[in-house]
Amino acid sequence: MDVHLLTYDLSRGLARQMSQGMLGFHLDAIYHTSIQLNGREYVYDGGIVDITPGTSHLGQPMERIFLGRTELPMEVIEEFLDSLRPIFTIEANSFAQFLLGKGIPEHIVKMPDAVLSSPFGRMLMPQLTQAMTSNRQNGSILGIQNGNTADGHSAAPQPTRPQANVKVVHSSQELDAALESAKKTCAIVLFTSATCPPCRAIAPTFDELSAEAGNKAVFIKVDVAQLTPLPEKNYPRATPTFVTYLHGEKENEWAGADPATLRGNVQLLLQMAFPRHPHESLNLPSFSNPNARPVLYSKVPPLEKLLAKMGATSTESAVQGVKQFIEARDKQGPAAATLPNLGQFAEFLRKSIHSLPTEVLFPVVDLFRCALVDARFSGYFAEEKDHQTVLAILKFVNSHSDCPYALRLVTLQMACNFFSTPLFPEEILRNEGLRAPIIQLISSSFLDDSHNNIRVSASSLMFNLALASNKARREKTGDVLPEGDSVELAASVLEAIGQEEKSPEAMQGMLLALGNLVYCTPSESEVSDLLRTMDAEDAILAKKKQFPSEKMISEILFHASFLCTPFFCLINWKPQAEQSPASSRGVSSGAQPQQVWRHCPGNSAPPRYLPIGQHSKQARPPRPGMWATHRQRYREILDEITTTLRGLSLDPRLMPSAVFEMPQLHSSASTPSLRSHDAPVKMDGGNVRVVVRVRAFLPREIERGAECLVEMDPVTQQTTLLVPNDSDPANAKAKSRKIIEEKTFTFDSSFWSHDLNDKHYAHQSDVYNSLGEEFLDHNFEGYHTCIFAYGQTGSGKSYTMMGTPDQPGLIPRTCEDLFERIEAAQNETPNISYNVRVSYFEVYNEHVRDLLVPVVPNQPPYYLKIRESPTDGPYIKDLTEVPVRNLNEILRYMTAGDRSRTVASTRMNDTSSRSHAVFTIMLRQIHHDMETDETTERSSRIRLVDLAGSERAKATEATGQRLREGSNINKSLTTLGRVIGALADAKPGSRKRSKDVVPYRDSILTWLLKDSLGGNSKTAMVACIAPSDYEETLSTLRYADQAKRIRTRAIVNQDHISSAERDAQITAMAEEIRVLQLSVSESRRREKDNKDQEEQLEEYQNRVVTMQRMMEERSLVAEGKIRSLQTENEALRLHLKLALDSLKNPIPAVTVKPAPEEGDETKEAKAVQEDKENAEDGESLYDDSDDTAYDSDVMEDNANDMQDYMRSLLSDLGMFRRKIGDDKDRWVGDVVGGAVNA
C-alpha cells in the first residue's frame, strides 16, 4: 500500500507573510500533518481519528508527499493504533516510522521546536497551553472529531454493535452446505416465511444472538416457501420453527416466537458445543484474571553513566537520538516523546553485536531495553523484516555459555519488554525462528543457581509468554504456544522449582509462569502427561515448608490437581487411620486379598480390580486436606452412586470373567536361553522390549555410606524402589517431598548387577545371552534391530554397551557372535554369501560427527548433514561405511571410534560421555538355491546406541562447555521422552487419543532413530539405574515404563528372485546399459560441439573487440582533423568578416600637419610620401570630416584590389569546404568498409 503524508497550513498563509518579522526567521507554514493509507486519512485530534482524505474543516492539504510503500496488513496496523490509544497520542512521524522504517521530512519535524524556542514563541506559550487544554476537555483540539465530514459521517470512531452473521439460504442444497460447514461446531436454523408476523417479531432477537455468538455457531435463515420438498428431508412447515444441530447431528426442535426460549436454547447449545474447562470453575484469581498484564522493566538508569560505559560509540547520532527519546518519555510522558530514527538505531545494534567487546554490549542492550517500554518503539521491531536486530542479540547471548551476568540479565529484561506492544506476542507465537531463541534463553537462565535476579527475570519472561499464549487459547484468536515448546518450558520450570531454595521472588515468578502455562490446558495434552510423569504436585508441595508464606503454592496445586491427580481418587476409600493394619502396607500370606474397584478418571485409568495394599500410582489416596472443602459432598455423591450400583441386577454375561491382574513375566536373566541359532525367535507382539539393570556402588557412594534403594525379583521381573533414608544427603530432595511409599515396576527382564556375591548377579554375558543374542537372531531373519541404553550419567550405560577389555559389553559381543555365525554358516552352506559394513557416529551438541574419520588437530570438527529418503527414511549424508571381513577389523574400527568420542569428567562421572554414540552394522545375506535356481537377498541393520546420561546442572556442577553439553543432552532426551509418549499405546480402557504428530524432528537423535522407535525395527531399551539416587532412578524407571507401550512394525527385508526373473533382470539391465552408453556418447558429442562453438564464439568476440578498438582510434584521429579544419575555417570567416567591414566603412586618412620650423616644400613631400605608403598597404587614414577621399582615384584602385583579394579568399574558402566534405565522406566509407570486412 502506498503511504502519503498530507500537510496543512493552520495559519492559512499568514506564516509565510509575517514569520520573518515576528520570529526572526522564515516559515512556509504552521504544519499540521496526517497519514493517508488505504483510502483513509489518519490524523491526531485529541485522539486517533480516521476520516475520508481532505474532508475535514481544514480543507484540502497544502502538499501531498509520497513516503513509500508498506507491506504490513491492515489488521496489524489497526492493532498498532489500538495499542497506542492509552498513550492518547500519535504523530505522523511515529506512524511513518512504524509503516516504513523512516520518518517524515526533517523541516516539518523541527518546526514546532524552532517556533517555541523563539522569543515570540515563548511569549505565546501560556496562551497556547490554555487553548489546548480547553479544547482537549471537549474531546477535540482542532474540531475534527466534533464536526461531521463531508460524506455525512462523524469522523470520530463510534462504538458499534457487532454485526449479525446470518446465512440466508434459498434452496435445499444451500441449506445442506451451510449445515456441513457447522459439523465441527453447532448450528441453529430458523424456518421462516415472508408472510409470517411472528417471524418478523423474532428476527431481531435471532440476529442479535448471531452477532453475540460470532463464529462459535452458524445461524441459518431459510424461507420454507423456497425449499423443495424431498422424500428424505422432513422440513418443518410451521413458522417460525427452530432446529438446532450439534456436531452435525440434530439436537433440538421447537416452534414459536418466544425470545426467552430462543435465547436459553442458544446459550445451552453453545455451552454443549464449547464446554467450559474445569479450571474455569475454580476460584483462581491469579490465573483467571482477563486483565492481567505482562511484566515490564521500565526503570531508567542514569543515562549519562550508561553512555559513559559505552565509550566512543555513545557519540553516534543513533545513540543520542534514543537517549533523548528515553529522557523525554521519562520526564514528560509518552505523548511528548518523538521517536528517533529507528532504522539507524537498528543498524547500530546489529553492528555493535559483532564489533563491540562483550563488556560494552551490556549498556547498549540496556539502552535498547529502556526504549522498548514504549509501544511505538517495540512495535517497529516487532514488524522488522526477519527480526534481524532482536535475533542477533538473543543468538549472541545464547551462543555464549559464559555470558556475563549483567548482559544476560538485561537481555532477559529486554525480552520482557517485547510485550509492551500486542504485536510482539503474536510474532513470537507465530514465528518459530523468533520463539526458539527466547525459549532457549529461558531454559538456560533457569540453570543459573548463583544469581537470583537471573531466575526472577527468566520467570517473568516465561510468565509473559505463557500469559500471551493463555489469552490466545481462551479467546481463540491467533496462534498459541506449540505443545512441544510448552512441554520444554514446563520441564524447565519444574526443574527450577525443585532446585529453588533461596529467592521467594523467583519462586513466586516460577509458580505464576507454570500456572499460566497449564491454565485451561487440555487434560489429554502432552503437558498434562509431563506433569504427571514428573510428579509436579509433589515437587510443588515440597516447597511449602521452605516458603511457608507463599500463597501461590496452594492456588497452583488446586488447579494443577485437575491435570496431575484424579478427580475421583477412590470409591469406598477410607482414610489411613480407618484402614486395617493388614491393608496399610500389604496383605498377609494367609489372607485372601479383598477386591475393590478403584476408578481414577482424572488419570484416564480404566476401572480395574486391585488388591488392597498393592500400591498403584493411579489408586493413590488423596492427601489429607487436599479436598477438605469438598470431601463431605463428594462422599455423599459417592455413597449414592455405590448404593445405586449395588441395587442393580446386571446380566452375568456383561461382567468380567475373572479378576484383572498383571500377568507375571518370568526372568530371562536367571535362565539364559540355550536355543539353536536356526530356531525361529518370537517376540511378544510388536512392543519395544524393556529391561532394567542396576549397577554396583561407586567409590564415592561407598564413602558416604549410601544404601541400595533397588530390589529386584528374578522370578516376577519386578523392580521395587524403596523409600530413601533421610540421612543420605544425596536424597535431600526426596526427603523434602516426604516419600512414604515404595514404587514397583514390572519389565521384560530385570538384571541385578549390584552385588557380585549374589546368586542372581547378572554378568555381561547374561545380558547378552538374554537380549543381544535374541536380537542377532532377528537380524539373520532379515529384521532391523536396535538396542539403546538409557539412564542418568554414571549409571553404567557405556559399561553395558561397550564394557571393558575383560568384560566386553553388548556391542563387542554382538560383533564376535556375528562373525562366528557367518563362519559357521559358510562352512555348512557355501551357497550363502555375506557382506558386512559398519558405521560409527556421535550426536554432539545437536550435530552429527563421523567417528571413523580422524580428527585433524587445530581444525574445527566437520559435521555431517541429515537427509530423509521417501523409502529408507532419515540418513546421514557422506557417512563413512566401511566393509569388514572379520572380527579384528570391526574391533579396530570400533576402538578408533571410541578414541574419537567426546568424554569429560564431571562430579557425577569421571568419564562421562558428552554425546550419543550410534554403532551400526549392516548385514547383507545372499542365498542361492541350486534346486529352484532362486536367489534370496536379505538386508538387515543392527543399531546399537549408547545414549549420554541425563544430568542435573546442580548435581554435576557443570559450567561453560560442560553446561552447554548437558543442556543439549537433556534436550534430546526430553524429546526422546516426548516421542516415546506420543508413540506409546494408550492403556487398556483409556480415553486417551492417539496423537497424529510425533515430534521426531525436534531433535537430531530422535530424527535418526525414527525407524527404530516407530517404524520397521525390533527395538529394545536397557534402562540403567543407580542404586542410591532415588530421584534419578525413579525418573528412569518411569521413562522405561512408558516405553513398554511402544509398538513397532518390523518386517523381513528380503527379495526372492527366480532364474527367469534373474535372466529378465539381466536382459533389462543390459538394455539399460546400452541405452545409457548411447546417451553418454551423445552427451560427449554434444559437449564437443558445444566446446567448438564456444571457441568460435570466443574468437568472434575477440575480433569484435579488436574492431571496436580500431574504430575508436580512427574516430579519435578523425575528430582531431575535423577540429583543426573547423578552427581554420573559423579563422578564415573572421578574416573575411573584418575585410568586408573595412570595405563598407573606410576610414578617411588623417592629415598630419608639419612642424613649424620645417618649410612648406618639406611638408608636402612628406605628405605625398605618406600617401604612397598608405596606398601600397591598402590602409589609409582619413579625417572624419573629410569626404573627398571617397572620390579619389587612389581609393578606387585600392577598393578594386581589395575586392579581387576577397574573391580569391572566398574561392579558397569554398575549396576548403569541399575538401573537408570529401575527407569526411572518405573516412566514413573507410570505417564502414573495415567493419564489414571484419
Residue 136 CB coordination number (10 Å): 14
User: Can you tell me whether residue 314 is helix, strand or coil?
Assistant: helix
1081 is in an annotated binding site: no
Which CATH number does the domain 288-298+373-564 belong to among 3.60.10.10, 1.25.10.10, 1.10.300.10, 3.30.70.2200? 1.25.10.10
Range with the lowest mean pLDDT among 907-916, 1091-1100, 1206-1215? 907-916
pLDDT over 90, % of the chain: 7
Q: Is the pLDDT of residue 1233 over 70?
A: no
- pLDDT band for 858, please (50, 70, 90 cuts): confident
Average pLDDT of the segment spanning 1002-1026: 84
pLDDT tens-digit readout, 663-704: 333 333 322 333 333 333 344 446 688 899 998 888 888 887
Q: What confidence score (pLDDT) does residue 783 get?
A: 86
Q: Is the pLDDT of residue 121 over 60?
A: no
Mean pLDDT (the chain) is 73
Average pLDDT of the segment spanning 747-766: 86
List the alpha helices (DSSP H) in 829-906: 887-900
Cα–Cα dist 330/337, whole Å: 9
pLDDT tens-digit readout, 356-405: 888 788 899 999 999 998 888 888 888 888 888 999 999 999 888 788 88
Contact by Cβ (8 Å): 947, 968:
no
Q: What confidence score (pLDDT) does residue 616 get?
A: 34
Beta strands in 149-307 (DSSP E): 166-169, 186-192, 217-223, 241-246, 249-255
988 contact partners, CB below 8 Å, separation of at least 6:
606
User: Can you tell me whether residue 631 is helix, strand or coil?
Assistant: helix
Closest CA to 956 of 899, 1032, 900, 1025: 1032
CA distances, 773 to each of 674, 813, 819 (Å): 10, 9, 13
Average pLDDT of the segment spanning 50-61: 73
CATH class of the 689-1055 domain in this structure: alpha beta
Q: Is 738 or 345 the better-scoring residue by pLDDT?
A: 345
| SS (HEC) of 1070-1094 | HHHHHHHHHHHHHHHHHHHHHHHHH
The answer, yes or no, to whether the previous bond of 425 is cis (omega within 30 of 0) is no
- pLDDT band for 410, please (50, 70, 90 cuts): very high
Q: Is 1078 or 901 the better-scoring residue by pLDDT?
A: 1078
Contact by Cβ (8 Å): 1183, 1148:
yes
Q: Which amino acid makes up residue 986?
A: A
796 is in an annotated binding site: yes
Question: Hey, which of 88-92, 686-690, 802-806 has the most confident mean pLDDT?
Answer: 802-806
Instruction: Could you please state the CATH topology (level 3) that the domain comprising 2-137 is classified under.
Output: endopeptidase fold (from Nostoc punctiforme) (3.90.1720)
960 is in an annotated binding site: no
What residue segments make up the domains of the chain, in order of their start? 2-137, 166-275, 288-298+373-564, 565-576+594-645, 689-1055, 1059-1145+1206-1237
Average pLDDT of the segment spanning 84-107: 59
Q: What confidence score (pLDDT) does residue 1015 get?
A: 72
Region of 283 on the Ramachandran plot (φ > 0 left; ψ -120 to 50 alpha; else beta): beta
798 is in an annotated binding site: yes
1124 is in an annotated binding site: no
705 is in an annotated binding site: no
Cα–Cα dist 285/516, whole Å: 11
**For the domain bounded by 166-275, which CATH number is listed?**
3.40.30.10
- pLDDT band for 568, please (50, 70, 90 cuts): very low
Kindly state the greatest CA–CA separation across the chain. 184
pLDDT tens-digit readout, 160-183: 445 568 899 888 888 888 998 888
The grid coordinates listed for 711 are 530390589
Cα–Cα dist 89/87, whole Å: 5
CA distances, 624 to each of 535, 621, 997 (Å): 18, 9, 40
Cα–Cα dist 319/18, whole Å: 38
Cα–Cα dist 494/491, whole Å: 5
Region of 489 on the Ramachandran plot (φ > 0 left; ψ -120 to 50 alpha; else beta): alpha
Q: In what helix (H) or strand (E) does residue 339 lie, and over which residues does it extend?
A: none
544 is in an annotated binding site: no
Q: What confidence score (pLDDT) does residue 682 get?
A: 41
Write the DSSP assignment of 1043-1060 as a string of letters.
HTTBB------EEEE-HH
343 is in an annotated binding site: no
- pLDDT band for 1157, please (50, 70, 90 cuts): low
510 contact partners, CB below 8 Å, separation of at least 6:
455, 459, 462, 493, 496, 497, 500
Q: Is 621 or 12 the better-scoring residue by pLDDT?
A: 12
Q: Is 1232 or 455 the better-scoring residue by pLDDT?
A: 455
Cα–Cα dist 449/314, whole Å: 34
pLDDT tens-digit readout, 124-143: 566 556 555 555 444 454 55
Residue 529 CB coordination number (10 Å): 21
